[in-house]
């Protein structure tokens, strides 16, 4: 197996690691840093928003990761070739594809601002200081940093916060797939078969260019039957298929207990014996691997077909998995690196962005994302900074849990 297919090998071995940057997270500096750090730490897949500017930021990070691969390996990190780049799409209303919004001018002056405290992405700011590059007009929700968790909505004592959502139209899919991504993830929910079919018809012509299709679905009445119906729509597939069981969406940073919903839904999908691979998400955190090990759901046998029952002769053949093939980490993985991301922003007040109009598809119309990513300009000297290896070291503490569950070690930073 070549490094080109190392992510597929990880699926078959049961140690697949995916970083979820966020389906509506458009903060380009953070996306680049997260993608670079987790790629060097050995991630198999980087999942980003389907926004050309975000895609380019992640591609830039992967280019840097390739140039730094030997340095990372010498330090004991786990990178073996590049991870696959994935974009997330949705076939209907979905909490992952939304932004919070409110008018800060309408907030009572004596409000304790619990929304600012509860926001895990530091996307709500009332200070008009220059330390975060804000002025009076940009106080409130920092659009590109909001990833739609929704925790601010119920906590507002005056009910002033709302959300706006975005649903991908089939016509928007083609230019995204042609942006050089390796994988597509479709977020769906039980009962949306007709909507899924419309989106799938737009994706289907581009399947030969993709290495993986992922289906992300939360639990619901008829969950198993719905996934089987989706499989009938997609079959046969020329690439790998991953079922992402979205246990408790965007909750991994809340606490250990959040992982229980992810594990429970993963068990439900495993029992259905769906063709393809089962990967956990939604509540995954530092506790997830140990919980899976205690239940015997994580393979400790790193042979090429540890997850598949009968082995595989090609990517096109989908086997019946009997263990969890991998884990995707979103809010928890981002929270781990939050202190370093903050240091990087403080050390570089201006993140150069090109105003090229090469790409005009911007789902949330973010002012920052309306500008395409310039790979040569966007150099904040991260590659030469000790902060890079601190970030990789931190990312490694999470990646190594599933990559080296019996012999995890601490590389030299």
Residue 217 lies in a domain: yes
Neighbours of 386 (CB within 10 A): 8
The answer to whether residues 264 and 298 belong to one domain is yes
Cis peptide before 82 (omega within 30 of 0): no
Specify the CATH number for the domain of residue 214: 3.20.20
26: phi then psi, degrees, rounded to nearest 5:
-125, 20
Q: What is the tally of helices (H) and strands (E) in the chain?
A: 13, 12
CB of 292 closer than 8 Å to CB of 324:
yes
pLDDT of residue 302: 58
pLDDT of residue 91: 86
The answer to whether residues 75 and 103 belong to one domain is no
DSSP states of 25-76 as a string?
A: ---HHHHHHHHHHHHHHT-SEEEEES-HHHHHHHHHHHHHHHHTHHHHHHTT
Specify the CATH number for the domain of residue 136: 3.30.70.20
The answer to whether residues 183 and 238 belong to one domain is yes
The answer to whether residues 160 and 52 belong to one domain is no
Token couple for 206: 């581009």
**Closest residue by Cα to residue 324 from 356, 299, 291, 359:** 299
The answer to whether residues 231 and 318 belong to one domain is yes
Residue 381 lies in a domain: no
Token couple for 172: 């928007």
Rg from Cα positions in the chain: 20
The answer to whether residues 112 and 210 belong to one domain is no
The answer to whether residues 278 and 254 belong to one domain is yes
Residue 237 lies in a domain: yes
The answer to whether residues 156 and 222 belong to one domain is no
The answer to whether residues 206 and 90 belong to one domain is yes
Give the number of domains in the chain. 2
Assign residue 128 a region: left if phi > 0, alpha if psi is -120 to 50, beta otherwise? alpha
**Closest residue by Cα to residue 328 from 45, 38, 28:** 45
Residue 401 lies in a domain: no
The answer to whether residues 9 and 139 belong to one domain is no
Residue 386 lies in a domain: no
Which of 269, 298, 333 terminates a domain? The answer is 333
The answer to whether residues 155 and 177 belong to one domain is no
* Distance set, CA 105 to CA 99, 130, 137, 140, 398 (Å): 18, 19, 10, 9, 41
Which of 165, 184, 215 terminates a domain? The answer is 165
The answer to whether residues 182 and 48 belong to one domain is yes
Kindly give the confidence (pLDDT) of every residue in the chain, 413 residues in length, as a single tens digit, with 9 standing for 90 and above.
Answer: 344 479 999 999 999 999 999 877 878 888 999 999 999 999 999 999 888 888 999 999 999 999 999 999 999 998 989 999 999 998 876 666 667 777 888 888 888 888 887 777 677 788 644 344 344 445 787 766 776 676 777 878 878 776 776 667 777 777 777 778 999 999 999 999 999 999 999 899 889 999 999 999 999 999 999 999 999 999 999 999 999 998 876 544 455 667 888 899 999 999 999 999 999 998 899 999 999 999 999 876 656 556 654 334 334 444 444 689 999 999 899 999 988 888 877 665 433 333 333 333 344 444 444 444 444 444 445 555 788 999 999 999 999 999 986 444 444 44
Residue 399 lies in a domain: no
pLDDT of residue 131: 41
Quick check: helix, strand or coil at residue 346? helix
Q: Which residues contact 342 (CB under 8 A, 6 or more apart)?
A: 122
Domain extent for 109: 98-165
d(CA 250, CA 178): 28
CB of 43 closer than 8 Å to CB of 83:
yes
Residue 30 lies in a domain: yes
Which of 142, 165, 188 terminates a domain? The answer is 165
Residue 285 lies in a domain: yes
């Amino acid at each position: 197996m070549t490094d080109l297919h190392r992510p597929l090998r990880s699926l078959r071995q049961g140690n697949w690691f995916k970083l979820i940057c966020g389906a509506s997270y458009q903060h380009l500096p953070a996306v680049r840093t997260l993608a670079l750090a987790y790629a060097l730490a050995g991630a198999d897949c980087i999942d980003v928003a389907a926004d050309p500017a975000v895609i380019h930021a992640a591609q830039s990070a992967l280019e840097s990761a390739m140039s730094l691969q030997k340095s990372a390996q010498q330090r004991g990190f786990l990178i073996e070739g590049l991870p696959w780049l994935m974009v997330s799409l949705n076939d209907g209303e979905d909490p992952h594809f939304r932004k919070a919004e409110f008018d800060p001018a309408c907030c009572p002056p004596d409000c304790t601002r619990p929304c600012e405290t509860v926001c895990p992405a530091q996307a709500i700011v009332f200070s008009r200081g220059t330390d975060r590059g804000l002025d009076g007009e940009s106080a409130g929700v920092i659009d590109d940093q909001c990833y739609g968790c929704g925790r601010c909505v119920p906590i507002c004592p005056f009910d002033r916060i709302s959300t706006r959502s975005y649903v991908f139209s089939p016509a928007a899919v083609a230019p995204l797939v042609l942006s050089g991504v390796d994988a597509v993830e479709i977020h769906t929910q039980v009962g949306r078969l007709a909507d899924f079919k419309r989106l799938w018809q737009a994706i289907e012509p581009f399947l030969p260019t993709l290495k993986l299709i992922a289906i992300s679905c939360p639990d619901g009445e008829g969950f198993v039957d719905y996934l089987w119906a989706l499989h009938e729509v997609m079959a046969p597939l020329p690439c790998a298929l991953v079922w992402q069981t979205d246990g408790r969406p965007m909750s991994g940073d809340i606490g250990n207990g959040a992982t229980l919903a992810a594990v429970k839904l993963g068990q439900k999908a495993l029992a259905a014996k769906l063709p393809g691979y089962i990967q956990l998400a939604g509540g995954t955190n530092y506790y997830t691997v140990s919980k899976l090990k205690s239940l015997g759901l994580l393979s400790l046998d790193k042979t090429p077909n540890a997850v598949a029952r009968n082995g595989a002769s090609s990517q096109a053949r989908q086997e019946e998995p009997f263990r969890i093939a991998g884990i995707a980490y979103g809010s928890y993985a981002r929270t781990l690196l939050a202190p370093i991301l903050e240091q990087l922003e403080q050390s570089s007040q201006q993140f150069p962005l090109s105003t090229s109009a090469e790409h005009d598809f911007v789902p949330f119309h973010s002012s920052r994302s309306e500008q395409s990513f310039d790979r040569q300009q966007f150099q904040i000297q991260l590659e030469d900074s000790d902060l890079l290896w601190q970030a990789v070291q931190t990312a490694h503490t999470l990646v190594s849990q599933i990559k080296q569950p019996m012999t995890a070690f601490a590389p030299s930073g």
